[in-house]
Amino acid sequence: MAILKVARIGNPVVRARAEAVPERAIRSAEMQRLIADMRDTMHEYDGVGLAAPQVHLGIRLAVIEVAEEDERAEDSVPFTVLINPRVHPLGKAMQTGWEGCLSIPELRGIVPRFSAVRLEALNAQGEKYVVEARGFFARVVQHECDHLEGKVYLDRMSGMESLCFLREFERFHAGETD
């Protein structure tokens, strides 16, 4: 497949609200190729999620995959396609955690997110599915769905005090817990 160019903050596509994917387009060869290319791109950049606006496409599509060896997650998340997703908080409990973004390279910051969410979406075959996500999986779902609304993690930070470059994050903060 192909590695796609990642749009960085400042490109208008990153800040625009994405349009719904028509159900008739989901099973098309073009959409299936895009999903595969997004997976390859996510892996190439060592990401755990990628939204279509990040690859210059203003559609409501995201992919997520969390490897078993990822120390941030309690459990792995198999490759998951989110088409036209909707996210609903499960309660008011929030959790803070470090986040980064392929569209904001080399920076990290502490972001509050709901601890648990209910995700409703269509999969790569256009079938509806519902899942309750908790912990790191919930964080990734919220992060990717924010991209579909034209938001980035910087918008969710309660302050800029924790914002740091990746090198300093790795030197001074890696391994910190909430």
Given pLDDT bands bounded at 50, 70 and 90, which one contains residue 178?
Answer: low
Q: State yes or no: is 65 an active-site residue.
A: no
Q: Which of 144, 161, 170, 176 is catalytic?
A: 144
**What's the Rg (C-alpha) of the chain?**
16
153 versus 178: the higher-pLDDT residue is 153
Tokens 């302050």 -> residue:
159
Q: Which alpha helices (H) appear in 10-122, and where do they start and end?
A: 12-15, 29-44
Integer angstrom CA distances of residue 11 from 16, 53, 140: 9, 10, 22
Q: Is residue 175's pLDDT more than 80?
A: no
Residue 37 lies in a domain: yes
Q: What six digits make up the tokens of 48?
A: 């755990």
Listed in order, strand segments (DSSP E) in the chain are 49-51, 61-66, 77-89, 94-101, 104-114, 116-122, 128-134, 164-165
For residue 168, give the CATH number of its domain: 3.90.45.10
Q: What is the pTM of this model?
A: 0.95
What per-residue confidence (pLDDT) applies to 67? 86
Tell me the pLDDT tens digit for each residue of 148-164: 999 999 999 999 999 99
Given pLDDT bands bounded at 50, 70 and 90, which one contains residue 22?
Answer: very high
Residue 130 lies in a domain: yes
What per-residue confidence (pLDDT) applies to 1? 75
Q: Is residue 48's pLDDT more than 90?
A: yes
Domain that holds residue 17: 12-173
Q: What six digits make up the tokens of 29?
A: 């060869």
State how far the Cα of 116 lies from the Cα of 124, in Å rounded to an integer.
24
Residue 178 lies in a domain: no
Q: What is the mean pLDDT of the segment spanning 121-126?
A: 98
Contact 89, 134 (CB under 8 A): no
State how far the Cα of 143 lies from the Cα of 54, in Å rounded to an integer.
12
Q: Is residue 131's pLDDT more than 70?
A: yes
Q: Is residue 57's pLDDT more than 80?
A: yes
Residue 38 lies in a domain: yes
Q: What six digits make up the tokens of 109?
A: 């910051």
| Number of domains composing the chain | 1
Residue 107 lies in a domain: yes
Q: Is residue 177's pLDDT more than 70?
A: no
Q: What is the mean pLDDT of the segment spanning 106-119?
A: 98
Q: What DSSP designation does 42 have?
A: H
Q: What is the mean pLDDT of the segment spanning 41-52?
A: 97
Residue 74: HSE in the Cβ half-sphere, 13 Å Cα cutoff:
8
